[in-house]
């Protein structure tokens, strides 16, 4: 039986795919390559298709004898989602409906879904538990909340079994330097810090240094992409074991500030990282970090890598690419 990985040519999907293959699981990737690259597949089987087209999903599931899906395929830029919301409603929300309809037509009834801590918005309490209020602050986050609910309703109407994994800030590169995050197509902090550190861009803008945090900059929970990959493999096993549907945070439980990220990058590179302070971005919370206990209790998973390991792996990978 085979795991279908949608969005497997992207950043987190490709790391997960690689781990699943190293565990000798049968996998096939469904990716339109709209924001991914075939070279990230490291030779895995690819079906170029769009999740919005249910008939294509159905035929790929039948062809490869798929029994579980890991669903990464989506657009992920909060900023873009506010200027071009239609892309996000169509690709993320309609895409999820298209995917699930195609899966069900092929009698595939298990899905592990890439959700996001963005669904919590500006949190009322820290650390953030899974029972915190859902308060999206941008269209992207709203699509993730909607996708979670759509998937859970398919559980009610069609017996779909699901695990929604709410990632905090995915970052880093593979420990052997084979895979990493393309700084040309991401808006995430760490690749942009690497770009500035390696002289491929101007100074990185630090958005806000007047937050109520120890050094005034925003604090986030950075999770190594290989730790995330491991959680996906465990979530597939969890569903295979017939356990109940699950919504769970994937974070480290530790907050790290932007200035700590810059300091770790300076240590890795041996040079100052050019940066400038700029005003806060509207809607950005001061501090976000996970309560990660439920993932330990349900999936037997905890993050094992520190933010320094994230920075060192990212720096090594970006340096090898530049």
Ligand X SMILES: NC(=O)c1ccc[n+]([C@@H]2O[C@H](COP(=O)([O-])OP(=O)(O)OC[C@H]3O[C@@H](n4cnc5c(N)ncnc54)[C@H](O)[C@@H]3O)[C@@H](O)[C@H]2O)c1
- Residue of 68, 81, 110, 116 that binds ligand X (CB under 6 A): 116
Q: Does 119 bind ligand X (CB under 6 A)?
A: no
- Whether residue 172 contacts residue 310, with contact meaning beta carbons closer than 8 Å, is answered with yes
How many helices and strands (H and E) does the chain possess? 11, 13
Helix, coil or strand: residue 229: helix
Instruction: Name beta bridge partners: 30.
Output: 6, 47
> Least distance to ligand X from the beta carbon of 222, Å?
9
**What are the φ and ψ backbone dihedral angles of 113, each rounded to 5 degrees?**
-115, 135
H or E segment to which residue 157 belongs: helix 139-158
13 belongs to the binding site for ligand X (CB under 6 A): yes
Q: Which of 1, 22, 23, 33 binds ligand X (CB under 6 A)?
A: 33
H helix intervals, 11-138: 11-22, 54-63, 78-83, 85-88, 95-105
Closest of 158, 7, 142 to residue 71, by C-alpha: 7
Q: Whose CA is closest to 288, among 251, 314, 248?
A: 251
Stretch of 72-80, 172-180, 257-265, 294-302 lying at the interface with ligand X (CB under 6 A): 72-80
Question: Is 42 one of the binding residues for ligand X (CB under 6 A)?
Answer: no
Closest to ligand X by CB, 204 or 214: 204
φ, ψ for residue 179 (rounded to 5)?
Answer: -135, 150
What is d(CA 224, CA 282) in angstroms, rounded to the nearest whole number?
27
- For residue 36, the minimal CB distance to ligand X (Å) is 2
Q: Is 308 exposed, middle or buried (0-12, 13-18, 19+ CB in 10 A)?
A: middle
Q: Which is nearer to ligand X, 143 or 316 (CB)?
A: 143
Q: Kindly state whether residue 12 participates in binding ligand X, applying the rule CB under 6 A.
A: yes
Q: Compute the least distance from the CB of residue 272 to ligand X, in Å.
A: 26
Q: Does 169 bind ligand X (CB under 6 A)?
A: yes
**289 lies in the binding site for ligand X (CB under 6 A):** no
Among the candidate windows 27-35, 54-62, 263-271, 274-282, which touches ligand X by CB under 6 A?
27-35
Give whichever of 95 and 102 is closer to ligand X, judged by the CB atom.
Answer: 95
Candidates 9, 61, 193, 198; binder of ligand X (CB under 6 A) is 9
> Does 151 participate in binding ligand X (rule CB under 6 A)?
no
Neighbours of 266 (CB within 10 A): 15
Which among 164-172, 197-205, 238-246, 254-262 is the span making contact with ligand X, rule CB under 6 A? Answer: 164-172
In angstroms, give the least distance from the CB of 217 to ligand X.
18
Q: Rounded to whole angstroms, how far apart are CA atoms 157 and 154?
A: 5
Using CA atoms, how far apart are residues 234 and 19, in angstroms rounded to an integer?
11
With binding defined as CB under 6 A, does residue 10 bind ligand X?
yes
Nearest to 311 by CA among 206, 128, 171: 171
Binding to ligand X, residues 45-64 (CB under 6 A)? 50-52
The least distance separating ligand X from the CB of residue 80, rounded to whole angstroms, comes to 11
Q: Does 72 bind ligand X (CB under 6 A)?
A: yes
Q: State the minimum distance, in angstroms, from the CB of residue 16 to ligand X.
A: 9
Q: Examine the residue annotation and report whether 140 is marked as an active-site residue of this protein.
A: yes
In angstroms, give the least distance from the CB of 130 to ligand X.
15
Q: What are phi and psi of 27, to 5 degrees?
A: -135, 150
- In the structure encoding, which two tokens stand for residue 32, read together? 């339109």
Catalytic residues: 140
Q: Can you give the binding site for ligand X, defined by CB under 6 A? A: 6-7, 9-13, 31-36, 50-52, 72-74, 76, 91, 95, 114, 116, 167, 169-170, 188
């Amino acid at each position: 039986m085979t795991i279908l990985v949608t969005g497997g040519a992207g950043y987190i999907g490709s790391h997960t795919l690689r781990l699943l293959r190293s565990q000798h699981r049968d996998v096939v990737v469904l990716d339109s390559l709209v924001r991914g690259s075939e070279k990230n597949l490291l030779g895995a089987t690819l079906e170029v298709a769009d999740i919005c087209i249910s008939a294509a999903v159905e035929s790929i599931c039948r062809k490869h004898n798929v029994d579980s899906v890991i669903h990464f395929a989506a657009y992920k830029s909060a900023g873009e989602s506010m200027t071009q919301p239609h892309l996000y409603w169509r690709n993320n929300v309609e895409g999820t409906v298209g995917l699930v309809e195609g899966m069900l037509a092929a009698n595939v009834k298990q899905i592990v879904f890439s959700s996001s801590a963005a669904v919590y918005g500006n949190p009322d309490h820290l650390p953030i538990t899974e029972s915190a209020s859902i308060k999206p602050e941008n269209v992207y986050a709203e699509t993730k909340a909607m996708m979670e609910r759509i998937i859970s309703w398919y559980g009610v109407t069609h017996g779909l079994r699901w695990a929604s994994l709410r990632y905090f800030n995915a970052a880093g590169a593979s420990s052997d330097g084979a895979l990493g995050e393309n700084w040309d197509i991401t808006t995430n902090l760490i690749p942009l810090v690497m770009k500035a550190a390696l002289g491929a861009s101007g100074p990185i803008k630090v958005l806000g240094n007047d937050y109520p945090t120890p050094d005034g900059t925003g604090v986030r929970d950075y999770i190594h992409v290989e730790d995330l990959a491991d959680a996906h493999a465990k979530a597939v096993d969890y569903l295979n074991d017939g356990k109940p549907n699950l919504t769970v945070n994937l974070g480290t439980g530790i907050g790290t500030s932007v200035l700590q990220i810059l300091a770790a990058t300076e240590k890795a590179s041996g040079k100052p990282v050019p940066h400038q302070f700029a005003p806060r971005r509207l809607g950005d919370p001061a501090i976000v970090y996970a309560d990660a206990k439920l993932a330990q209790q349900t999936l037997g998973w905890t993050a094992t890598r520190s933010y320094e390991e994230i920075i060192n792996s990212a720096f090594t990978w970006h340096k090898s690419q530049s």
